[in-house]
Chains A and B, each alone.
Chain A
């Protein structure tokens, strides 16, 4: 079975890349060609026009496109997430100095509010933050953080979309005050002395959803067993990638020019969990970070409503299940002996300690699931 998979050069494309490097696609009976893309718009268009069959994609993009926000992505399904976390927020040294003394996100947001007020009083320009795409977790995370201090992200902050490859230079040139992007780009800029990582994904949300694998629904329908084989190959790649003993190999493979093409030190730094050291806490363990939770889909949809891109009168459950396919994950993961979550949704947040998730044949010990502001996102109809 032939298929083409598009990816962007980021650490969180690891499962797609590792499955190729280690031959998992072949052993699942798939003949895969990877195409490295330079932006998300092209990934979306290639899916829409059938030039690729599957893609590494920002989780909110299929929902935005399905709701008419921007061009169509065509009919796609997401049988698995490609891990959790992986983004970091880098600010200029000048802004970092203004936010000094506060380590929590709530604290740094309060300091940011002071800085916004100071700039207004002095007639200095607005704070400008860059994101890689409008409909992205990067954007939602920054808006949530900004709003936690009572700032209005719409009026009091300027947002620009920039390619991660150009963000660091713009921070250095003082054109933007900070940016969020997937690793290893913030780490590469930090190593180049362009700024400091203020916080990264796990500081915001310990297990934050980020990218998914989007599969063209028409390809899935025409290729009996194709999605099953593809999901298995990626889950196996995840099992390999999360082994500590494979970490050095993982870093070397991701840093290759045909994949991320970043310095190995930046890739290594990005895989650390502590943001003070530049880490972005990427979790690749397929048992805990690849299930396509309907509650994640609804959280993304909820963010689009919160920031005014979407009217609240949609059937979010139907929308979420149209794209996210936990049934396909269970089928593939079950064949590999994984424990299968019993529910499709869970509370997001409110678990400060490792906890037990109901699953079969045995429960899964999950890492903490907490948001920085203590909020709990509940979407289950009890």
Chain B
């Protein structure tokens, strides 16, 4: 079984490959990765299944091959019975689509696609955590700088400056970060930074 994985995010592709090898590892399973799809990959590698990230712009290229040629992997969405296509739907939701050649075992297709979807969801979770951590850090910095402005302009202790920020946030129904950003925006007028 040859599986080709196309994903601009190569770390995520490696994660999917590892998942497939864990389930189908064996001398007959070959997995190849690419950040871009190239036509020659079909000739050189002859994949039975292609897994492609929905965010890859190359998906339309792969899709078009079925119009021109009979012996290329076709979109999985063309094979599934709509009453039983949970694997395809969940994969799409996770951001991954698949193409298989005629005759590829549908059960195997569904289980590989499920593995791919899980790995995509996992990566998305990590990405979300990372961007939340970055946002938290940025918020922290904004608040610290606003505290500094208040300490200097109103001659407050750090603790009192934070309390003033928090009180203003509660009074106006906004986040402390938003209040802090406003203070920084007008800090020039306050004679601060």
Whether a CB of chain B sits under 8 angstroms from the CB of A157 is no
Is the beta-carbon distance between A42 and B61 smaller than 8 angstroms? no
Residue A117 at the chain B interface, CB threshold 8 Å: no
Contact bitstring A144-182, B, C-beta under 8 A = 1, else 0: 000000000000000011111110000000000000000
User: Contacting A41 at CB < 8 Å: which of B60, B67, B89, B93?
Assistant: B60
Q: How far is the CA of A165 from the CA of B58 in the complex (A)?
A: 9
Asked whether, in the complex, the Cβ of A161 is within 8 Å of the Cβ of B54, the reply is: no
Given contacts A48-B77, A163-B61, contact A41 B56 (CB under 8 A): no
Give the number of chain A interface residues (Cβ < 8 Å).
26
**Across the interface, do B54 and A42 meet the contact criterion of CB distance under 8 Å?**
yes
Point out the residue from A71, A161, A309 that lies within 8 Å of B77, measured CB to CB: A71
Q: Is the CB of B75 within 8 A of A161?
A: no
**Centre residue among A37, A51, A71, A162 by max chain B CB count within 10 A:** A71
A46 to B92, CA, bound (A): 7
Is A261 close to B, CB under 8 A? Answer: no
Say what secondary structure dominates the interface of chain A: loop
Q: Is B25 an interface residue (CB 8 A)?
A: no
Contact (Cβ within 8 A) A41 B92: no
- Known contacts A38-B54, A41-B75, A70-B66; is-contact A132 B60 (Cβ 8 Å): yes
- Report A-chain residues with C-beta under 8 Å of the C-beta of B64: 133-134, 160-161
In the complex, whether A339 has a CB less than 8 A from a CB of chain B is no
- Is B189's CB within 8 Å of the partner chain A? no
B57 interface hit (Cβ, 8 Å): yes
Which residues of B are found within 8 Å of A162, using beta-carbon distances? 61
Determine the chain B residues whose CB is within 8 A of the CB of A20 once the complex forms: none
- Does B193 sit within 8 A of A, measured CB to CB? no
Interface pair A161/B92, CB less than 8 Å apart: no
* Contact A39/B59 with A71-B77, A134-B64, A134-B67 known, Cβ cut-off 8 Å: yes
A41 contacts across to B, CB distance below 8 A: 59-60, 63, 75, 97
**Taking the complex as formed, is B78 at the interface, i.e. its CB lies under 8 A from any CB of chain A?**
yes
CA A71 to CA B85, docked complex, whole Å: 14
Distance in angstroms from B101 CB to nearest chain A CB is: 16
CB neighbours (8 Å) of B67 from chain A are 69-70, 134, 309
Judge if B55 is at the interface, Cβ distance under 8 Å: yes
Query: Which of B60, B75, B92, B93 interacts with A39 by CB under 8 Å?
Result: B60
A39 to chain B, nearest CB (A): 4
Say yes or no: A45 contacts B77, CB within 8 Å: yes
CA distance A70 to B66 in the complex (A): 8
Closest A residue by C-beta to B77? A71
- Interface presence of A377 (CB below 8 A): no
A49 an interface residue at 8 Å Cβ cutoff? yes
Interface residues of A in 23-77 (CB under 8 A from B): 37-42, 45-46, 48-49, 51, 69-72
Count chain B CB atoms within 10 A of each CB in A39, A133, A164, A165 and give the residue with the most. A39
A71 touches B60 (CB 8 A): no
Decide: A165 and B61 in contact? CB cutoff 8 A.
Answer: no
List the B residue with the shortest CB-CB distance to A161.
Answer: B64
Chain B residues whose C-beta falls within 8 Å of the C-beta of A163 in the assembled complex: 57-58, 60-61
CA gap between A70 and B63 in the complex, in Å:
9
Set of chain A residues within 8 Å of B92, measured between Cβ atoms? 42, 45-46, 49, 51
Instruction: Report whether B75 and A133 are in contact in the complex, using a CB–CB cutoff of 8 Å.
Output: no
* Chain A nearest CB, measured from B77 CB (Å): 4
- Expressed in whole angstroms, the Cα–Cα distance for A161 and B93 within the complex equals 25
Given the complex of chains A and B, what is the CA–CA distance between A42 and B54 in angstroms?
Answer: 6
Chain A positions 357-374 with a Cβ under 8 Å from a chain B Cβ: none
**When A70-B66, A161-B64 are in contact, do A166 and B57 touch as well, CB less than 8 Å?**
yes
Q: Is B78 a contact of A71 with CB atoms below 8 Å?
A: yes
Which of B54, B55, B59, B64 has the most chain A CB atoms inside 10 A of its CB? B64
Contacts of B59 in A (CB 8 A): 38-39, 41-42
> What residues of A have a CB within 8 angstroms of the CB of B54 in the complex?
37-39, 42, 45
The winner among B61, B89, B93 for most chain A CB atoms within 10 A is B61
CA distance A240 to B57 in the complex (A): 31
Query: Contact: A45 with B97, CB < 8 Å?
Result: yes
Please, which residues of chain B bring their CB within 8 A of the CB of A45? Answer: 54, 77, 92, 97
Task: Indicate with 1 or 0, residue by residue over B36-78, a CB within 8 angstroms of chain A CB atoms.
Answer: 1000000000000000001111111101101100000001011
B92 to chain A, nearest CB (A): 6
B85 and chain A: residue at smallest CB distance: A49
Q: Take A41-B97, A45-B97 as given contacts and tell me if A165 and B60 are in contact as well, using a CB distance cutoff of 8 Å.
A: no
Residue from B60, B78, B88, B92 with most neighbouring chain A CB atoms (10 Å): B60
| Shortest CB distance B162–A (Å) | 33
Given contacts A49-B92, A70-B66, contact A40 B57 (CB under 8 A): no
- 14 CB contacts below 8 A, A to B, read A39-B58, A41-B60, A41-B63, A42-B59, A42-B97, A46-B92, A49-B88, A70-B66, A70-B67, A132-B60, A133-B60, A163-B61, A166-B36, A166-B57
Binding site for B on A (CB under 8 A): 37-42, 45-46, 48-49, 51, 69-72, 132-134, 160-166, 309
6 more A-B contacts (CB under 8 A) besides A49-B88, A134-B67? A41-B59, A42-B92, A49-B92, A51-B93, A71-B77, A134-B64
